[in-house]
Amino acid sequence: KARKELSGKRVLITAGPTHEYIDPVRFIGNPSSGKMGFCLAQAACRLGARVELVSGPTNLSAPEGVQLIRVTSAQEMFKAVQERFSSCDVALFSAAVSDFRPLECADHKLKKANNYNSLTHIDLVENPDILQQMGAAKTHQIVVGFAAETSNVIPYAREKLVAKHADMIVANKVSATQGFACDTSQATLVLPQECIELPEMPKIQLAGEIFHVLVKR
Ligand code: C5P
């Protein structure tokens, strides 16, 4: 009977990495697979929600019933989220957004022969923090962020909850072997009044637990 708990709700999700181009053939990126976000989309859809998934470059295809919006850079992701945030009820920001982008993208491939400086030195500018900006702008939305840390996981997650105006932070410990591109995850759900430590489980099951906790509130 608990199956369609999100029926009539609109859920917005960010997923995957962003690619910040340096020239036509090079970018700054990260190894995010997008799995967590795609699992969240699938879980929300099964619970009856109308789901929009804004994803950076991944090899994954859209779960059935999910509207997938593909983007490349953090700025494109920000724009796609801004256009959809006000009409959603729950927003989950699982994308691994690049914090910086090159100040400019060269219109030709940089060559070491004549552009040695451009290859050894790249000026960077900060990207918008999509979660932080949407958290600050929220009216009725429930906002969920993710925190991947290598140490002090819970204290950093608590700081993020406050700084980004989130209602929940899903905190993960990551290392070279755990976290990115993995099918399982060991997470702690950090909420204003409590911390829920979950055992390691498949990401699709973790997605279910996240919505279970959100619906209960
Ligand atoms: O501060 P940090 O990058 O560790 O926070 C991670 C959380 O913030 C994730 O939910 C991520 O999707 C979100 N984020 C974002 N835009 C950024 C950086 C992070 O939405 N530019």
* 4 in a structural domain: no
Q: Is 20 in the pocket of ligand 1 (CB under 6 A)?
A: no
* 128 in a structural domain: yes
Q: Is 171 in the pocket of ligand 1 (CB under 6 A)?
A: no
For the entire predicted model, the pTM comes to 0.95
Res 18: pLDDT: 98
* 2 in a structural domain: no
* 1 in a structural domain: no
Closest CA to 192 of 216, 159, 215: 159
**Tell me, what CATH number does 75's domain have?**
3.40.50.10300
**Please, what is the angle between helix 35-46 and helix 203-216, to 10°?**
50
Q: How many domains does the chain divide into?
A: 1
* 87 in a structural domain: yes
- The answer to whether ipTM exceeds 0.85 is yes
Which residues constitute the domain of residue 84? 10-216
Q: Is 115 a catalytic residue?
A: no
Q: Is 91 in the pocket of ligand 1 (CB under 6 A)?
A: no
Q: Is 78 in the pocket of ligand 1 (CB under 6 A)?
A: no
Res 149: pLDDT: 87
* 167 in a structural domain: yes
CA-proximal residue: ligand 1, atom 4 (nearest): 147
**Ligand 1 midpoint to CA 112 (Å):** 34
* 3 in a structural domain: no
Name the one residue in this structure whose structure tokens are 């002090």: 152
**H-run or E-run covering 1:** none
pLDDT one digit per residue (tens) for the chain, 217 residues: 456 999 999 999 999 999 999 999 999 999 999 999 999 999 999 999 999 999 999 999 999 999 999 999 999 999 999 999 999 999 999 999 999 999 999 998 888 766 666 678 899 999 999 999 999 999 999 999 999 888 999 999 999 999 999 999 999 988 766 656 688 999 999 999 999 999 999 999 999 999 999 999 8
